[in-house]
Chain A
Amino acid sequence: MSDSTTDIGTRRSAVAIVQDGSKLKAVELGRQGGIFEVLWTSSSEDGDLDWKAFELECSLAGEQTKKVEAADGRIVVAGFNSTGVVFYRIEVPSVRKEEIAAMVRIQAESRLPLSADQMELAWRAGQTRNGKAPVTIAAAKREQLEKFVVNVRGFEPEKILLDCEGIVKAWRTFFSGNERDAVVVSIAERNTQVCLTQNGRLSNAVVLDMGTEDLSTITRDLLVSGTSDLADQTETTERFVQDIRSVLELFGYAEPAGLPVIVLSDDSAAHEVIVSCLKSADLNVRAAYPQIEKLDGRTSPGPEDIYEYRVPIGLALTALDGDTDGLNIFERLYIPPSEAKSKRRLYSPKVAYAVAAVMLLLLLIVFYAVDVASPGAIEKRLNKAGVNTNINMLIQRQKLIKSVASQRPNLLELINQINSGDNKGIMLDKLEFKKGRVVSVKGQTKNAEQMYKFQKSLLATKGITDVKIQNADMDNKTKKLKFTMTFHYKNFTKKRALR
C-alpha cells in the first residue's frame, strides 16, 4: 500500500473491479500529471467469486486512500467479462449518428442469436473511408447483464466496461503498445482473450477456452526435456495455434502474416514457449512485457503485479482518461449513482419548493413590472390613438355631459305622452313644469269619468308617478268640469333635482 498524502489536490484515482478467471481482482490507480501510482491491489481467493465479501475487502483497502477520495473523488468502474459478448463488424454509409443507430439496430437484429428484446447491444463507429464507416457492435444476453449489475451494484460503479477494452488500454499504456492495427492476446488461467484493435481501439474480441493451466503442462514438459525442437508440440499447442488462426480469419485476416500478434507476457518461460509456438506457425508474433516507466517508482508494485492486474489496471486507466466512446452495453440497464442522485435531487420536495418559490418570486416580479409599465403604456396608447388632449379635460367634459344628461328633461316626450294617452273628451289648457316641483296640468272635460280615465292613463305612462287631481269644479257657464292634475315626472320634479 502506498502513501497518498503528497499533493493530493491534483491527484485523481480510479478503482476498477473485475472478474479475472476464477478470481475477483480490484485495483486503485492514481494519476498525478503523467505518472501513475497503483494505490492498492486486492484479489479474492481462487474460486471465491463472492462479490459482497469482495466489496467489504475492497472498502477496507480503500480506507488507506481516503484522503484522495475526499480531495477529488474516486471513480469506481466494474469490468464485465467478455466471454458472453459477441462482436460484429459492419459497414454503414457515412450518415448522421441517429441514422447510424437505426441502421445498426436493423442489421444487428438480423444477426443476433436471440430476439432483440432479450439482447442488449452497444456500437461504435470508426473513421469513414470511401464513404463507408466501419461499426463495431457488441451484443450480450440481457439476463446475464442484469445478473452482473446485481452483483456489482454494491460497489456503486460509475460505469461498467467490457474487460477486453481494459486489456487494450493496458497494452497501449503499460505494454508499449503503439501499433494502430494489432491483435492482442491476453492469456489468463483458464481462458485466453484475443482482441483485435484497429486505429488503436478495440474492434473485435474472442475468448478461447484455453489458458495458462492448459498450456503450462506442455511448457513444463518442454522445459524438462530441455529440447527446443518445437516440432514435437502436443495436440494442445496445435489446437491453440489453430484457434488463434481461426480467430484471425474471423477478424477478416485470412493471410495474417503482416498483422502483429502481441502476446501480453510476464516474461515467464511458459509465455516464451507459447510465443515460439505461434511464431513457428508463420504468425507475426511478439511478446509485450509490462513497462513501469510510467509508474511512480517509489510506491508502485513491480512488473509482475502489473501483469497480474493488467485487466483492472486497463479499466482504471479508461476511467481516468474519461473515455466516453466506450462500448457501453449496460447503458439501458444501469444508472450510475451520480446520475441517479442528480435525478433524485431533481424530484426531491426541496427542489419542488425551490422551484415554487422561484416561480412565486417571478410572478411577483412580473406583476410588479406590469404595474410599473402600465401607466406609461396607457399614456403611449392614448397618444397613439390621437387623444392628445389633457386626460383631465376629457374627464371633466365627460362628467359635465353626464351631469347635463341627468338634468335635461325631455318635455317634448312628456307632451307627447300626455296627448297619446286616453284623453278622449279632455281639453288641456295649461302645462306647467318647474324643476323640483310637481308638473301641473289644467284642463276641462264633460264629466268626471273622462277625467278619471285621463288620470289612469297618466299613471300608466312611464316616468309619470303620483298623479293627483287637485281640484275639479263644474263651470256653470260652460257646463264643463275644470280640473287641475299634478304628477311627478321622473326625478326632475323631486326636491333633489334642485341645485
Chain B
Amino acid sequence: MRRLSQQEKRTLKFGAICAIAIVGFAFATHWLGHWKKVRDLRAGIKDKLKTINVDETKRAGLMSIVPVFEMPEKEEKQKFLFRDKFNEQLSSARIKSEPLQVLPAIKSGVAGYKLLRLKCSAKCSFGQALDLLARLNENPYLVGIEEFKIECDQKKRQEVKLDLTISTFVK
C-alpha cells in the first residue's frame, strides 16, 4: 500500500480536526443551552431563598414591627377575623367604642391583595388610647394605621376623643 505524503497527512489531520470541531460545536451549543437553563433555574431558586432567608438583624427588625402575622383570607372571612380581633383589643384596653365601621376594600400596593379598612371612634382616657396603640401590633391581621386622630377634651383633659382607621389585607 502506498504511503501517504506529508500533504495528504496534513489534509487528513485538518479534516479530522474540522470534523471533531463541528461535532464538538453542535454538542457544545446544545450543552451550553441546557446549562444556561439550569443556571437560570438555580438563580431563580437562589433569589427565592434570598427572599426568605433574611439575615438575623433584619429578621429581628421585622419581628419588632410585625411580631405576628396571618396570611390574608378572602374578604368575607378576613373582615370578621380582623374586626373580632380588634374588638378584643379594644376590650382589653377597656375602650368602649362606637360600632366599628368596615370601609369598602381599596387597591393595595401588593399584587393580588386589597386593603380593607376598619374605622373606630371612641371616647377614652389618654392612657387607654396609648394602651390600645401598644397592643395593636399583636393583631395578626393588621397591616397598619391609616388614620389616627386624638383630641383632648378641653374641660376634662384626661379624656380624649379617638378616631382610628386601621387596615388589613384581603384576597
A400 touches B110 (CB 8 A): yes
Q: From the candidates A400, A405, A429, A434, name the one contacting B152 in the complex (CB within 8 A).
A: A429
Known: A372-B38, A375-B41, A401-B69. A395 touches B149 (CB 8 A): no
Determine whether B169 belongs to the interface, using a CB cutoff of 8 Å to chain A: yes
Known: A395-B48, A408-B66. A433 touches B147 (CB 8 A): yes
- Residues of chain B in range 8-61 having any CB-CB distance to chain A below 8 Å: 31, 35, 38-39, 41-42, 45, 48-49, 51-52, 54, 61
Determine whether A232 belongs to the interface, using a CB cutoff of 8 Å to chain B: no
A412 touches B109 (CB 8 A): no
Residues of B with C-beta under 8 A to A404 = 65-66, 69, 142-144, 169
B51 touches A398 (CB 8 A): yes
Total CB contacts across the A-B interface at under 8 A = 108
B145 touches A409 (CB 8 A): yes
Known: A415-B130, A435-B147. A399 touches B51 (CB 8 A): yes
Determine whether B71 belongs to the interface, using a CB cutoff of 8 Å to chain A: yes
Known: A374-B42, A404-B144, A415-B130. A430 touches B149 (CB 8 A): yes
A429 CA to B151 CA in the complex, in Å? 6
Determine whether A403 belongs to the interface, using a CB cutoff of 8 Å to chain B: yes
Determine whether B134 belongs to the interface, using a CB cutoff of 8 Å to chain A: yes
Interface bin, chain A: 35 or more
A402 touches B62 (CB 8 A): yes
| Residue in chain A with minimal CB distance to B169 | A400
Count, chain B residues at interface, CB 8 A: 44
- Residues of chain B in range 105-158 having any CB-CB distance to chain A below 8 Å: 106-110, 113, 115, 130, 133-134, 137, 142-152, 154
Could you tell me the dominant secondary structure of chain A's interface residues? Answer: helix
Determine whether A407 belongs to the interface, using a CB cutoff of 8 Å to chain B: yes
Contact residues of A with B, CB < 8 Å?
368, 371-372, 374-375, 378, 391-405, 407-412, 415, 428-435, 499
A398 CA to B53 CA in the complex, in Å? 9
B107 touches A499 (CB 8 A): yes
A185 CA to B152 CA in the complex, in Å? 134
| Residue in chain B with minimal CB distance to A387 | B52
Q: Can you list 18 A-B contacts with CB-CB less than 8 angstroms, sorted by A residue number?
A: A371-B42, A375-B45, A398-B51, A398-B52, A398-B54, A403-B143, A404-B69, A404-B144, A408-B65, A408-B143, A411-B145, A433-B149, A434-B146, A434-B147, A435-B144, A499-B106, A499-B108, A499-B115
A408 touches B62 (CB 8 A): no
- Residues of chain B in range 54-91 having any CB-CB distance to chain A below 8 Å: 54, 61-62, 65-66, 69, 71-72
